[in-house]
Amino acid sequence: MRRFATRAILAATRSPEVNQTPSAVPIYQSAAFSTGDASELGDVLTGATAGYAYSRIDNPTTAALASAIAELEGAQAGLVFATGMAAIHAAIVSVVRAGQTIVAAKAVYGTTRDLMVKVLAGLGIETEFVDPRDPAAVDAVLARTKSPLLYVETISNPTIVVSDISALATIAHGHGAALLVDNTFASPYSCRPIELGADLVMHSATKYLSGHADVLAGVVVGSKARIDALRPILVDVGGALAPIAAFLVLRGLPTLSLRMERHSETALELAAWLQGQDGVDRVYYPGLPDDPGHEIAVRQLHVFGGMLAFELSGGREAGRAFLDAMQLAERTASLGAVRTITTHPPSTTHRQLDAAALAASGIAPGLLRCSVGLEDVEDLREDFELGLAAARRVTKAAAKRG
């Protein structure tokens, strides 16, 4: 008989026999997978044989998530990452090389902009920003820079600009460039950019895909060839998603359609109500008939989404007062959760930008971004009324001072 320590190790690591199909994808919380012999291990590690050897390279739970999201997006394949930013980084560097230029939409997530203008610039990759609503400008910049990549967001963060994916794909492909779309704000329930001509689509799966604000994850989907080009970056840079995180995102996917319908219904009602409120200069929401992106949204989106933004006439101080007065909505920098989240982009998600860069991105000092949750709309409206009342008081006091 083997000795105690050996028996304890073997007993505790023996996989149970399961002959029935589980209701949920199992969490394969294992760093490594044993093979029958050295030859099999070599074949699995080199990809000659399908299988698993080491979870940084691949894992059954993370593979199940990648496959599920690719299917929902209408893509051939996908890869999941530890965060949305890891996914964006991998997607970009799978296409762009040192000495080349990225053409990107002016209004993008602040950390995405930082990745481009600080991290990638230090590696010899430049970025030029352009208004995605101006096809002639996009065409001209792609022609001048000979860029291999056009980067846009389906619905921009935080100004809720809706990009015309089909038109931009045509322009990009006319210059031999790939179109990479961040579809986080829309979700595949609302929009599937691959079906509109995009080459790669990414998500911060932290947001709507998981939906519960309890996990960090990212994903990129596209053709098999493009995902094959991404895989060495994931493996060698080490941005692998943990199996437990993959499980949590998988848990959220079955309710995505239900959640997006409710998010959108409530957001539209709040946006229409905000338009008539004193102290609100402008409301950004593609479901509003007078929104500049409404026509594209009607054509491209299944639902208008849960993200809206609005400008307070009192500027930064009014925005701060609005947030501090709210009692229901959370004050944080994330989005896409069951709870409503309201934030002030100039001091949070886009804090890296100076006044000039904020203005160039269309972000006003009093802009507030709201991720509308699943609460009752009447309760949210009451909470917003508290915020607006506080913002008006601050604005009036500032006007009296001079």
Residues 234 and 116 in one domain: yes
Positive or negative, the Cα torsion across 67, 73, 76, 80? negative
Q: What is the domain range of residue 85?
A: 38-44+53-254
Residues 368 and 287 in one domain: yes
pLDDT of residue 351: 67
From the list 146, 144, 131, the residue with the least C-alpha distance to 97 is 146
* Owner of token pair 């100076």: 354
Q: What is the mean pLDDT of residues 49-53?
A: 93
Residues 166 and 287 in one domain: no
The count of domains in the chain is 2
Poorest-confidence range of 229-233, 337-341, 360-364? 360-364
Residues 83 and 212 in one domain: yes
Q: Which of 199, 222, 254 is the last residue of a domain?
A: 254
Query: Roughly how many angstroms between the first and final C-alpha of the chain, as a whole number?
Result: 89
What is the C-alpha to C-alpha distance for residues 364 and 120, in angstroms, rounded to an integer? Answer: 27
Q: What is the mean pLDDT of residues 157-179?
A: 97
Identify whether the C-beta of residue 256 lies closer than 8 Å to the C-beta of residue 287: no
pLDDT digit string, tens, across residues 204-219: 999 999 999 999 999 9
Q: How many angstroms from the chain centroid is the CA of residue 71? A: 17
What is the C-alpha to C-alpha distance for residues 338 and 328, in angstroms, rounded to an integer? Answer: 12
**CATH code (residue 392):** 3.90.1150.10
pLDDT digit string, tens, across residues 237-293: 999 999 999 999 999 999 999 999 999 999 999 999 999 999 999 999 999 999 999
Q: What is the mean pLDDT of residues 335-346?
A: 92
Identify whether the C-beta of residue 272 lies closer than 8 Å to the C-beta of residue 47: no
The DSSP bridge pattern shows strands 218-222 and 77-81 to be antiparallel
Residue 353 has pLDDT above 70, yes or no: no
Residues 182 and 67 in one domain: yes
Catalytic residues: 56, 109, 182, 207
pLDDT of residue 348: 65
Q: What is the mean pLDDT of residues 117-133?
A: 97
Under DSSP, is residue 336 helix (H, G, I), strand (E, B) or coil?
coil
Residues 191 and 286 in one domain: no
What is the C-alpha to C-alpha distance for residues 148 and 172, in angstroms, rounded to an integer? Answer: 8
Environment class of 27 (CB within 10 Å of its CB; exposed 0-12, middle 13-18, buried 19+) = middle
